[in-house]
Amino acid sequence: MEEHREDPERLNGYVAEFLYGYVRHVYVVETDVQARLEAKSALAKWFESFNHLWLRDRGEEYWPSDVEAFASEGFLVAGSPDTVRRQLRECLPEWGGNYFVGAFAFGNLAGEKSRRSLDLFAREVIPGL
């Protein structure tokens, strides 16, 4: 609000520190091979759902459904706990930002797989970051 524009705790008249972060699809299981296969299959379904209305109404995809490119550009973080921890250690400083959001439920991943992935992330990835 205008009455708080000059408050010393606020930067540029708005907030003390801007928040900016990154969202990445995350899938953690016991092996890298299993993680990549299952995550890529779920991403294919995610793209299909994401683009459905655009294809129907405009005849083109909103977001190109190239799972390999999506993964290779870093939008998918998938693997064993060790692999995911290593990926995040390498990528987080490069991405910048001051927070990270993992999307653990996407595409046609069963709820139990998403919960298992989140549990492994919380128990085995985060403590080593």
- Residue 53 · residue 59 · CB < 8 Å: no
For the chain, the average pLDDT equals: 90
Helix (H, G, I), strand (E, B) or coil at 118: helix
Give the single-character DSSP code of 64: -
For the whole model, what pTM was predicted? 0.83
14-49 pLDDT per residue, tens: 566 678 899 999 999 999 999 999 999 999 999 999
Consecutive H or E run containing 100: strand 99-103
Domains and CATH numbers, the chain: 2-128 (3.20.20.30)
Helix (H, G, I), strand (E, B) or coil at 23: strand
Give residue 97's pLDDT.
Answer: 87
Question: What type of residue is 124?
Answer: E
Give residue 18's pLDDT.
Answer: 74
Lowest mean pLDDT among 10-14, 40-44, 97-101: 10-14
Consecutive H or E run containing 103: strand 99-103
40-78 pLDDT per residue, tens: 999 999 999 999 999 999 999 998 899 999 988 889 999
pLDDT band at 98; cut points 50, 70, 90: confident
